[in-house]
């Protein structure tokens, strides 16, 4: 009996130990699935055809390709806008930019100056804000491009730290050609064109006034003429001063709310951004974290460090892509070193398609490759909005899977909010859908029956994926006029515009079936598609429903909000000292190791 008692007690002890171990394992699994770390990697102006995992055979992107091999590749991943500012607003909020006022009714669809008053409204709820409330450490490293100040140079109403990020290291606006000496200007041609007519009108007015004054038909007070000339002179002086100092005023690096380098230096810039990302991960190994690493690559001005310059087969553009891929590898390596890979969802994408019109002054192609897809950045042809979408989460999402269902960069919002055990906002429409069931293979159809493609604030096209069909219909209400005619972009104006003489309206609208014609080569007609009018009827009904869901909001990209306001200008010294400082170069050497 005694031996039987000991044997039974031993078995019970083992059983209890197994139960405790299983509970611990289940707890770890539940924690990793319910509150994983989130790393969101966003390239700038990267073409879907620039990556090996999307078919490129000449650019070397082994680390991004490794993400795809170990995760899911989305082959119909759609940016909510083909321009930086509205696309990033949609990404952060899960909502079409038209809902937040981040879609322009004018020609200019993005913020151009650090001292503009527009930006992502404080009323908008970002995924960073919701995750921060759930105890996540949150950081944005790299490009912001969603505004800075509202009424004073230190209110920081649109700053990343006002939208749920604990830490910011990066550029408040974007990477311009004007930021890098010798790379040309994105403004000069536009300014020259824009000033021709005002100067002609002013000159004609002054000559006419002088003539009528001389012949005695009209007496114009000399004081009025003096004021008029003074205003013109001051305006020209301010304009010349601004563009002469553009680099200092708009191209600077910040840490949180402090400027640490003005103007920005491109020396080892990707290494500095990567180091910041790695250090953030290492600081938060015991805390769930959200890291948004928003690369400056491959927006112009192109740049690459000495370790990558001249190493690719595609000039400086290829060098920049391969340097960005190295950075992705560094991030993945630090996850492995910290044993965080299995507890971290990693997502890689681009804010929109490649800027095909980007050509340097020397004639070198500085824009990317959109594969088989038509058009590029600033257009809603597939080349402008179909972007890379790669997600890896070992043990949770299917490794090596391809999903050819319509998905959106707005889907990241509900996906990670749910994973963080946070509540989706109930007081507003969220246009994105949770991706996890699709990524895990629990469902095979996207929840996006319709996707609405805006060109700035104008509804340009609609995508319809019927639930009972493999077809993906795409309807265009207008298309941009490519220039020169027959080209694949708007080379004469550098980007395509959304209204007036820059577009051609279509009645009836153009219709494509992307499942059969992903290159959008041959529009369907009533003769070639028997359901032509039925498809248009369904799409028009969807547009009506969508339009009724929109509400009037302040336009953040109005001319008033876009223009440079001197009183909002951030400056680490003073305007009279050309806003110069450099707290980066004086620090310790960068400890970043190349692979």
Q: pLDDT tens digit string along 204-223?
A: 777 777 777 777 776 767 66
Residue 124 has pLDDT above 70, yes or no: yes
Q: What is the DSSP letter of 595?
A: -
Angle at Cα 582 formed by Cα 581 and Cα 586, nearest 5°?
145
* Most confident among 19-33, 543-557, 572-586 (mean pLDDT): 543-557
pLDDT at 407 over 80: yes
Cα torsion angle, 562, 177, 50, 473, sign: positive
Three-state DSSP at 342 gives helix
Question: Is 50 exceeded by the pLDDT of residue 23?
Answer: no
Give 381-394 pLDDT, tens digit per residue.
Answer: 999 999 999 999 99
Using CA atoms, how far apart are residues 325 and 332, in angstroms rounded to an integer? 11
Has residue 144 got a pLDDT over 60? yes
Cα 413 to Cα 434: distance, rounded to the nearest angstrom: 8
Task: Compute the average pLDDT of residues 76-81.
Answer: 98
Radius of gyration of the chain (CA): 27
**Is the Cβ–Cβ distance between 262 and 581 less than 8 Å?**
yes
Is the preceding omega at residue 298 within 30 degrees of 0, hence cis?
A: yes
User: Are 304 and 271 spatial neighbours (Cβ–Cβ below 8 Å)?
Assistant: no
Give CA–CA dist 479/486, Å, rounded. Answer: 14
Active-site residues, by number, are: 84, 145
Q: pLDDT band at residue 573, thresholds of 50, 70 and 90? A: confident
Reported confidence tier of residue 232, pLDDT bands at 50, 70, 90: confident
Per the CB < 8 A criterion, the answer to whether 150 and 116 are in contact is no
How far, in Å, CA of 462 to CA of 290, rounded? 32
200 in Cβ contact with 171 (< 8 Å): no
Q: Which CATH number fits domain 187-244: 1.10.287, 3.40.50, 1.20.120, 1.10.10?
A: 1.10.287
Q: From the centroid of its chain, how far is CA 310?
A: 27
Q: Is the pLDDT of residue 589 over 50?
A: no
The vertex-225 CA angle with 220 and 226, nearest 5°, equals 140
Q: Please say whether the beta carbons of 435 and 415 come within 8 A.
A: yes
Edge-to-edge strand ranges of the sheet holding 344-350: 401-403, 72-74, 389-392, 344-350, 37-43, 289-294, 137-143, 167-171, 253-255, 258-262, 581-582
Segment (H or E) for 110: none
DSSP state, residue 125: P
Q: Rounded to the nearest 5 degrees, what angle is found at the Cα of 502, between the Cα atoms of 558 and 497?
A: 40
Residue 237: which pLDDT band, with cuts at 50, 70 and 90?
A: confident
- Going from N- to C-terminal start, the domains of the chain cover 37-175+251-446+555-576, 187-244
CATH of domain 37-175+251-446+555-576: 3.40.720.10
Residue 567, pLDDT above cutoff 60: yes
| Average pLDDT rounded to a whole number, residues 62-91 | 98
Distance CA 328, CA 337 (A): 14
């Amino acid at each position: 009996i005694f031996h039987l008692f000991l044997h039974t007690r031993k078995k019970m002890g083992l059983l209890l130990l197994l139960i405790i171990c299983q509970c611990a394992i289940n707890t770890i699994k539940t924690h990793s699935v319910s509150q994983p770390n989130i790393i969101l990697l966003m390239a700038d102006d990267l073409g879907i055809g620039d990556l090996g995992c999307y078919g490129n055979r000449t650019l070397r992107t082994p680390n991004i390709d490794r993400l795809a091999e170990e995760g899911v590749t989305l082959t119909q991943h759609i940016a909510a806008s083909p321009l930086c500012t509205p696309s990033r607003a949609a990404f952060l909020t899960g909502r079409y930019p038209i809902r937040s006022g981040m879609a322009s009714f004018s020609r200019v669809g993005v913020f151009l100056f650090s001292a503009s008053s527009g930006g992502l409204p404080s009323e908008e709820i970002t995924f960073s804000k919701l995750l921060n409330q759930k105890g996540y450490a949150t950081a944005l490293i790299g490009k912001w491009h969603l505004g800075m100040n509202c009424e004073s140079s230190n209110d920081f109403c649109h700053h990343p730290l006002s939208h749920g990020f604990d830490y910011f290291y990066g550029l408040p606006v974007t990477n311009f050609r004007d930021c890098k000496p010798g790379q040309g200007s994105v403004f000069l041609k536009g300014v020259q064109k824009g000033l021709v007519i005002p100067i002609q009108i002013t000159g004609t007015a002054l000559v006419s006034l002088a003539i009528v004054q001389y012949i005695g038909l009209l007496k114009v007070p000399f004081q009025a003429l003096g004021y008029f000339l003074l205003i013109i002179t001051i305006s020209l002086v301010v304009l010349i001063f601004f563009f002469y100092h553009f680099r200092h005023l708009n191209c600077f690096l910040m840490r949180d709310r402090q400027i640490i380098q003005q103007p920005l230096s491109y020396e080892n810039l990707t290494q500095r951004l990567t180091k910041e990302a790695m250090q953030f991960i290492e600081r938060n190994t015991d805390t769930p974290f959200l890291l948004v690493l928003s690369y400056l690559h491959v927006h112009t001005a192109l740049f690459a460090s000495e370790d990558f310059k001249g190493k690719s087969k595609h000039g400086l553009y290829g060098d920049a892509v391969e340097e960005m891929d190295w950075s992705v590898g560094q991030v993945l390596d630090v996850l492995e070193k910290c044993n965080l890979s299995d507890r971290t969802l990693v997502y890689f994408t681009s804010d929109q398609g490649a800027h095909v019109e980007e050509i340097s002054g020397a004639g070198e192609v500085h824009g990317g490759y959109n594969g088989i897809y038509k058009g590029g950045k600033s257009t809603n042809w597939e080349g402008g909005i179909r972007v890379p979408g790669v997600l890896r989460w070992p043990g949770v999402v299917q490794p090596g899977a391809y999903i050819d269902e319509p998905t959106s960069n707005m889907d990241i919002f509900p996906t990670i909010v749910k994973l963080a055990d946070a509540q989706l906002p109930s007081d507003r429409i969220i246009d994105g859908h949770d991706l996890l069931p699709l990524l895990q293979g629990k469902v095979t159809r996207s929840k996006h029956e319709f996707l609405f493609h805006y060109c700035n604030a104008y509804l340009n096209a609609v995508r319809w994926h019927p639930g009972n069909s493999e077809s993906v219909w795409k309807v265009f209400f207008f298309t941009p006029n490519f220039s020169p005619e027959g080209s694949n972009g708007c080379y004469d104006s550098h980007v395509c515009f959304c209204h007036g003489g820059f577009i051609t309206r279509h009645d009836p609208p153009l219709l494509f079936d992307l499942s059969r014609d992903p290159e959008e080569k041959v529009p369907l007609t009533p003769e070639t598609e028997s359901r032509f009018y039925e498809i248009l009827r369904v799409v028009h009904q969807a547009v009506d429903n969508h339009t009724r869901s929109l509400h009037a909001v302040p336009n953040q990209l109005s001319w008033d909000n876009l223009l440079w306001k001197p009183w909002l200008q951030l400056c680490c010294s003073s305007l009279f000292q050309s806003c110069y400082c450099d707290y980066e170069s004086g620090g310790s050497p960068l400890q970043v190791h190349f692979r």
